[in-house]
């Protein structure tokens, strides 16, 4: 299998030779200018370049003109979402600061090739951006590094009115117009682009693209010194309770251990903030009972935190020994009323909800009287040290359908156990990013608002959040496609989606592996026509030189006598999902040296 490079050309910048100034252009193209016309432009902080006003007071809509027709964002809506002036938000692992400007003051830059002062090292640039021209805006820019080199990038920001909700950072319910408030949703996006790893960024030249607006820009730092041990993807935003003054105690299973821990909470798909009053972590004894006294977590030195709509927060690092292959109890108090919550639906693990009150410090299970089968808000557990992690992007088979609740016998768990028991390759953390019902290209839930659907946005739309932004990820395994073909997607559509996933992963320097789709004849939707499409996808997977390695799960679990069916010993009973023997066989079929 062919290994892809970063995919960004590195060039020299700013040399004067024989009376001409040579500068790097888009994609490394060279242009020349005579010294008397060439101008050295010193990079400036983004806020010093603000030349457009996007936000207005609802009572004074005429003080802003975001799109050239007098429309603007509502300051009240931004405040209601928790996007307040000067607030630093973390989205997709990047810290971005919402402009500290009053309504009616310039608060964004119309991208026209400006040179912006940005510093830091990491794996990506993150832009808080949107477009106002009625369609997505695309352009190329340049990153300059401290060693004198440059790299180019290409960025696309969707339109603020018509762009996809599935990839937005936040959606606001109104737009302020000259004639009054419109109920059209306004969308803001966080777009990331790869940069040269290990090189210190000193400035960024913005694209020149009509209608492209930048509110904030930062270098997304790599999670140095941390390994991802557990994750869960946000699969939906359902109504709950409502819960008022309740404590959640979630049971999660660490794949690898370490002497320090930090947790991540995500308010994905939400329209309003959610507040955590306090939080603790403990080892599980049984059920909701802790082995020892729960240890308090903090957020920026405070006991609690408010998570803005669409954002995430990390706890402060805590000296707490996390054993490998062990259950943790993560408890957090929700002091306000929560009527809907970002969650992972198919936990295959019992967790707990308390009676009213802050019970995060309780060692006993007495107050935890209600059982949950989902993981609300909590999306990650990282441990210090370690070699990094492997992310598994999948559907219900990866999510654990077919395994016994509380058993931790999903195939990612079995893979983690294999890694812990050997020394031929590093003992990577294993991050399960499976979502039951998920698809590569099509989707049912479009990523906004309260919904009973829990299949998540499609793999292409969640790739940045669920793979590229994960802690210390070095390899991704893509195991999806059966739900696409079962719901009439063509092999060509699935192949195009898989190819894009591979390309985007390679751009970030990840090792990308892909698994063949399992047979499912005998399940109601798995007709002969569906199997033809499945076989075509698998043929491409085996033959195409796109991924860095292939895991032939189809060959490992199919019935040799009836290759369109699962081997009966591996069939979980519905002919679609493997049972626990089949899930163990999937983990056993992984060539660890490919990781």
Q: For the residues of 84-122, what is the DSSP string, one character each? A: -TT-EEEETTEEEEPP---TTS--BEEEES-EEEEEE-S
Q: What share of the chain is helix, strand, coil (3-state, %, to 5)?
A: 15, 40, 45
Half-sphere exposure for 60 (CA within 13 Å, toward CB): 12
The two domains 223-385 and 387-595 share their CATH topology (first three levels equal): no
Give CA–CA dist 158/9, Å, rounded: 25
The residues, any chain, with a CB within 8 Å of residue 286's CB and separated by 6 or more, are none
Which of 100, 193, 187 is closest to 151 using CA atoms? 193
Q: Angle between the 528-543 and 491-507 helix axes, to the nearest 10 degrees?
A: 30
Of 123, 71, 74, 369, the closest CA to residue 248 belongs to 369
Rounded-to-integer distance, Cα 181 and Cα 176, Å: 5
429-434/389-394 β-pairing = parallel
> Where do we find the tokens 């690092």?
317
Q: Give the 3-state DSSP-derived string for 5-43, with helices as H, strands as E and coil as C.
A: CCCCCEEECCEEECCEEEEECHHHCEEEECCCCCCCCCC
Q: Which of 359, 316, 299 is nearest to 334 (CA)?
A: 359
| Residues 153, 141 contacting (CB under 8 angstroms) | yes
* Residue showing tokens 């777009």: 191
CATH architecture of 223-385: Sandwich (2.60)
Bridge partners for 106 per DSSP: none
How far apart CA 567 and CA 541 sit, in angstroms, is 21
Residue with tokens 């009115």: 161
pLDDT in tens, the chain (595 residues): 444 434 333 333 332 222 222 233 333 333 333 333 334 579 999 999 999 999 999 999 999 999 999 999 999 999 999 999 999 999 999 999 999 999 999 999 999 999 999 999 999 999 999 999 999 999 999 999 999 999 999 999 999 999 999 999 999 999 999 999 999 999 999 999 999 999 999 999 999 999 999 999 999 998 889 999 999 999 999 999 999 999 999 999 999 999 999 999 999 999 999 999 999 999 999 999 999 999 999 999 999 999 999 999 999 999 999 999 999 999 999 999 999 999 999 999 999 999 999 999 999 999 999 999 999 999 999 999 999 999 999 999 999 999 999 999 999 999 999 999 999 999 999 999 999 999 999 989 999 999 999 999 999 999 999 999 999 999 999 999 999 999 999 999 999 999 999 999 999 999 999 999 999 999 999 999 999 999 999 999 999 999 999 999 999 999 999 999 999 999 999 999 999 999 999 999 999 999 9
> Residue ranges of the domains in the chain?
46-220, 223-385, 387-595
- Domain 387-595 sits in CATH at 3.40.50.1110
């Amino acid at each position: 299998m062919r290994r892809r490079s970063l995919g960004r050309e590195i060039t020299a910048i700013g040399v004067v030779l024989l009376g001409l100034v040579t500068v790097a252009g888009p994609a490394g193209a060279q242009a020349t200018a005579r010294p008397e016309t060439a101008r050295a432009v010193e990079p400036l902080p983004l806020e010093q370049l603000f030349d457009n006003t996007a936000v207005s007071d609802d009572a004074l809509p005429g003080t802003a003109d975001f799109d050239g027709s007098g429309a603007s964002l509502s300051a009240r809506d931004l405040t209601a979402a928790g996007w307040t002036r000067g607030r630093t938000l973390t989205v997709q692992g990047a810290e971005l600061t919402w402009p500290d400007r009053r309504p009616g003051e310039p608060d964004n830059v119309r991208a026209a090739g400006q040179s912006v002062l940005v510093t830091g090292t990491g794996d990506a640039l993150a832009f808080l951006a949107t477009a106002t021209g009625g369609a997505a805006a695309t352009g190329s820019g340049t990153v300059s590094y401290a060693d004198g080199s440059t790299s180019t990038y290409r960025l696309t920001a969707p339109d603020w009115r018509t762009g996809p909700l599935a990839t937005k950072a936040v959606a606001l319910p109104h737009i302020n117009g000259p004639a009054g408030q419109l109920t059209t949703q306004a969308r803001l996006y966080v777009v990331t682009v790869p940069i040269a790893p290990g090189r210190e960024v000193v400035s960024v030249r913005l694209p020149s693209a009509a209608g492209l607006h930048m509110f904030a820009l930062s270098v997304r730092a790599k999670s140095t010194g941390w390994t991802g041990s557990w994750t869960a993807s946000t699969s939906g935003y359902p109504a709950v309770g409502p819960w008022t003054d309740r404590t959640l105690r979630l049971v999660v299973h660490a794949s690898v251990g370490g002497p320090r821990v930090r947790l991540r909470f995500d308010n994905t798909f939400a329209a309003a903030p959610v507040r955590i009053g306090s939080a603790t972590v403990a080892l599980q004894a049984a059920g909701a009972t802790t082995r020892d006294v729960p240890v308090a977590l903090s957020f920026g030195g405070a006991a609690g935190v408010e998570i803005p709509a669409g954002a995430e927060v990390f706890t402060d690092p805590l000296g707490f020994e996390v054993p490998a292959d062990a259950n943790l109890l993560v408890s957090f108090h929700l002091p306000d009323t929560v009527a809907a919550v970002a969650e992972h639906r198919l936990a295959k693990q019992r967790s707990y909800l308390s009676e009213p009150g802050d019970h995060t410090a309780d060692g006993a299970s007495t107050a935890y009287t209600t059982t949950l089968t989902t993981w609300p808000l909590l999306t990650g557990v990282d441990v210090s040290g370690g070699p990094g992690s492997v992310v598994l992007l999948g559907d219900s088979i990866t999510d654990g359908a077919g395994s016994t609740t509380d058993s931790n016998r999903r195939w990612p768990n079995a893979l983690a156990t294999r890694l812990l028991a050997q020394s031929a390759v590093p003992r990577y953390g294993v991050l399960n990013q499976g979502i039951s019902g998920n698809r590569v290209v099509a989707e049912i839930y479009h990523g906004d608002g309260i919904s009973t659907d829990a299949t998540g946005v499609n793999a292409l739309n969640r790739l940045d959040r669920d793979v590229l932004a994960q802690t210390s990820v070095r390899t991704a395994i893509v195991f999806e496609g059966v739900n696409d073909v079962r719901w009439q997607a063509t092999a060509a559509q699935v192949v195009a989606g898989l190819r894009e996933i591979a390309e985007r992963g390679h751009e970030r320097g990840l090792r990308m592996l892909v698994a063949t789709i399992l047979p499912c004849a005998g399940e109601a939707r798995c007709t002969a026509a569906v199997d033809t499409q499945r076989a075509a996808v698998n043929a491409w997977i085996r033959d195409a030189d796109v991924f860095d390695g292939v895991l032939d799960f189809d060959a490992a679990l199919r019935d040799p006598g009836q290759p369109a069916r699962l081997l009966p010993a591996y069939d979980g009973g519905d002919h679609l999902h493997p049972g626990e023997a089949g899930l163990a066989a999937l983990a056993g079929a992984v060539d660890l040296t490919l990781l």
